[in-house]
Every structure is written in C-alpha cells, then in structure tokens.
Amino acid sequence: MMSIAKEEEMAAELQLKARVFHFGQYKGALEDKVLESLNHKVLDVYRHCVSTQQESNLGTVQMLTIIEQQLDDLLENLERVPQIKVEQAEKAKEKERRQRLREEKAKMQKQQQEERLQRAQARAQAEIKKKKGRKLVCRSRPPAMKTKEEPEFELLDKEKEEQLFFFT
C-alpha cells in the first residue's frame, strides 16, 4: 500500500517534470541534472527487472527498449497462463498483504502498550509530591453596586400629571 502511494507520487513528480520540461522552462545545467536523474531511475529499473551485467555500456534509450521488450514478453506469458492460476496468485498475494498488515498492526499495538506501561511505571516510581501550606481558595467577589431605579409607579404619576396639565 505504501509502495503504491510512493509510485503514484513519483509518477506525479515525473509528469510535472515532463510538463515543465516540455514548456522549455529548463535550461542547460538543469536539463542535464534532470536527464541524469532520469538515467539513474531507468538504470535502477533495468537492474531490478533485467538484472544483467551489461548495463555499463548501454544508454538510457537502449535500457528502456530492453525493459519494454521484457514487459511485452511477460505480458504474453501472462496471457498464456490459465486464468485460475492467475486468480490463485492474486489471492495469495492479497492474503500475504493482509497478513503483513495484521502483523504491522499487532506490532504497533504492542509498541503502544509497552509505551503505556513505561509511562505508568514512571508515574508509579515518581516521588510523591506533598502539598504544603493551606489550600488555596478563591476570594469572594465584592457585592455589585446596585443602581437605583425609579419605581414604576412614580413614572405613571408623572404621566398623569402631564396629561392633566396639557389636556385640561
């Protein structure tokens, strides 16, 4: 799963480099670095797939053609293999992948458990801190200042006075 992600990341990186290279943004020395990097990648693939000792005198294009021929041969051989065997091989590969994931998960859980045990042991062995002095308490807040509000009945009396004054 990690290798697939890694390969996809490398493919995206190569596509970006190809686009930038195609638009002419690379110049002289940078082009040489990119071509040399590409040559190293092709050489790695060539060694992994073909694994012969002839790579010292082959160019990048020649190595790519040999890799392509090897791939064509493998695809032709795959077409000749019965479908049942291909499915069995795929199932075995998937089973192996799931087993590897299970083992990794168990290993991670074991490691986390060990870390938890170490932290618990460190807490248990740590010196107990005794509190000295009085317990701190929060101070009480001073009472809020009350604003005097005029009673509502006084407002009503003022309104009545105004009505009597203006309307009589």
Per-residue pLDDT of the chain (168 residues; tens, 9 = 90+): 667 888 888 888 888 877 776 665 556 677 778 888 888 898 888 888 887 665 567 888 888 899 999 999 988 988 888 989 989 999 999 999 999 999 999 999 999 999 999 999 999 998 888 878 777 777 777 778 887 765 566 666 778 888 878 886
pLDDT score recorded for residue 72:
92
pTM given for the model: 0.41
DSSP the chain: -HHHHHHHHHHHHHHHHHHHHHTT---HHHHHHHHHHHHHHHHHHHHHHT--GGGGG--HHHHHHHHHHHHHHHHHHHHHS-HHHHHHHHHHHHHHHHHHHHHHHHHHHHHHHHHHHHHHHHHHHSPPPPP-SPPP-PPPPPPPPPPP---HHHHHHHHHHHHHHHH-
- Which residue from 38, 79, 46, 44 is spatially nearest to 65, judged by alpha carbons? 46
- Which residue from 18, 42, 43 is spatially nearest to 31, judged by alpha carbons? 18
Domain regions of the chain by residue span: 8-80, 82-124
pLDDT score recorded for residue 44:
87
pLDDT score recorded for residue 112:
98
